[in-house]
Structure formats: structure tokens, C-alpha cells
Amino acid sequence: MTHPNFFVIFEVKNLSGKLIFDTEYNQLIRQQEDREDYYKDPIQQVNHQHFQLENWLKRHRFNDRIPIYSFVVIVNENAKIEPKNKGDLISKKVARDTKLLDTIISLHKTHKKAFFTNNDLRNLQELLIKKHIPSDPELLNLLKLNREDLLTGVFCPECSRCPLKRIHGRWICLDCSTISKNAHLQALRDYALLINPTITNVELRKYLHTDSEAVANYILISLDLDYEGITKSRIYNLSPLQTEIKE
């Protein structure tokens, strides 16, 4: 999860049964019914991702002093979390998904200083796009981002405010008053690369923060995209937008 003041990496595990975290031998033991399964230590895994992210930021000259937190998140209700050894700091690194909101709120309260501007976060995304890693899930995985972590909406081409408001067929920035007719293009390119190369009317409305089906329709038609399906269930192919990116 990216936030201007801190980043959080979540390694999500959907395992059920008794999960025994063995930090001494770096393994996760799952006991269920009469069997035992063994997995790589997710704490070590998430620590490694943490290290990689720090290096990645440094390498690409982003502010690498931004605090980064990393957690293993257990999402399965039928899991019992258990440290193998007493004194293991499992409780600091492993959490249930239900605790995440509290964790984020508390990080929010304790980190008042911004290390990234919205613009920086935007550049971070753009850099990933420029790296041209072909498949979208890979792009998100590279930074351990979930789809929900991405800022959605149309960005202001001048000041990077997001989202812009659509008024009378144009995108208006309420901060710097910039007016743009096609600022949604970049947003849809990002969508194609980071989320999905195809989009429906409903998805477009949600992503561009517009309630109007007619507006979404207008935008989709004006882009002259190939599509499959009829009327409301049409699936539009955004891929041609990507090849239009020129450096």
C-alpha cells in the first residue's frame, strides 16, 4: 500500500489450520486434520520484499527514507496463528486481516511527515510503466501492490491532483483550474497496464470517478476501441492506447 507518508507491504496468506511459525528454521508448519505441510517462512519472505523495495526506491532515486512496514496477513478465518518458540515476535509481524485497519490508522496517526507527494506516487507508477513489464499482475506484484492500493481517477496533467471532476465534457482541476479534454487517456493507459487490458462501461465509471453511463459511453466511443459483446455488457479493448505512448 502506498501512502505519501509510509508504505506497507502485505504478504497475504489464505491458509487454514494451525499455522506454526518457526522463525528459528524459517519455516511455516501447517497442521490440519492428520497431516502436516511445510511452507517457506512468510516473515522472511516479506522481509525480503521490504529489502527489495528499499533498494528499488534507491535505485530509481525515489526518497528511500520513507518508512516501510511489512506484515504477513492471515485472511483465513479457520487458521490458528501460533509461534513455535516463546519470545518470537510473531505478533509484530503476523496479523489477521481484521486487524489491518487498526494498523493502518495507527500508522496514519504516527506518521505526519510526507516523504512522497501525489506527484511522486504518480511518477512511481509511471516509472513502472516505462519499465515495460508486459503483464499487469507482474507490475503490481513488483511493488507488492494490490489493485485497491492504486489511486483511481483522472490526474491533473499540471499539478497531479486526483481525481479531476468531469464538467460539461471536460476534466476540471479544482486546485489549479486546468481544463483538459483528454486527461482520461493517461488514466486508461495506466488501467490497461496495471489492472486489465479490457474495460467495461461500469468499470470505467468506477475508475474515472464518474457516475454517468452516458459520459462513460461517450468516452469509450470517442476512443474508437474494438469491443466484444452488446450494449451494456460490452468489453472494450484498451491495448491500442498503450502503443500510443511516445517518449
Residue numbers of the site for Zn ion (CB under 5 A)? 156, 158-159, 161, 173, 175-176, 178
Q: Tell the smallest beta-carbon distance from residue 159 to Zn ion (Å).
A: 3
Tracing cell 518458540 back to the chain, one arrives at 85
Q: Tell the smallest beta-carbon distance from residue 204 to Zn ion (Å).
A: 22
As a whole number of angstroms, the distance between CA 51 and CA 58 comes to 11
Question: Among residues 67 and 157, whose Cβ is nearest to Zn ion?
Answer: 157
Question: Among residues 104 and 159, whose Cβ is nearest to Zn ion?
Answer: 159
The 10 Å Cβ neighbour count of residue 54 is 15
Question: Among residues 54 and 158, whose Cβ is nearest to Zn ion?
Answer: 158
Q: Tell the smallest beta-carbon distance from residue 172 to Zn ion (Å).
A: 9
Question: Among residues 6 and 155, whose Cβ is nearest to Zn ion?
Answer: 155
237 backbone dihedrals φ, ψ, rounded to 5°: -95, 115
12 backbone dihedrals φ, ψ, rounded to 5°: -95, 130
Q: Tell the smallest beta-carbon distance from residue 176 to Zn ion (Å).
A: 3
Alpha helix positions (H), the chain:
42-59, 90-93, 97-110, 118-130, 136-142, 184-190, 201-208, 213-222, 239-243
Question: Among residues 126 and 158, whose Cβ is nearest to Zn ion?
Answer: 158
> Minimal CA–CA distance to 193: which of 142, 230, 229?
142
Q: Tell the smallest beta-carbon distance from residue 161 to Zn ion (Å).
A: 5
